Structure 1
Amino acid sequence: MIRLTRLNDEEFIINCTQIERVESIPESNVILISGKHYVVKESIEEIIDRVIEFNAQIYARAQKRKE
């Protein structure tokens, strides 16, 4: 799950595993597998970084449980 910001400054949490693609229009348009989409303030690069960080946290937690 990652935190994003709508154009009206409202923050929300999105399940990043459901993201199909992100387009720049010039704002970022996050399109989910379901077809639902969200226009957000974050750049494509910021969204990618947040998804990477989320996945790294999941991987790190999984590694801790194996120890």
Structure 2
Amino acid sequence: MAKSKRGHALWNLPSRGRGTCPICQNTRIKLLYPKKKTDGAVVKVCKRCDKAPQTKVDAVLI
């Protein structure tokens, strides 16, 4: 049987949680994973970039 509540929390996010990943520049992708920069800022990234090295995360301009 189908799960009707799966992904329901995404409906409350702007653009359903989608945007452009600041690391890989992929467009219309879900940005659900917060990554912390060394200066303390938090950046939301895609699933593939969640495992990116810290140097790439720090290179992101907010």
Same fold (TM over 0.5): no
More helix as a share of residues: 1
More strand as a share of residues: 1
TM-score (norm 1): 0.29
TM-score (norm 2): 0.30
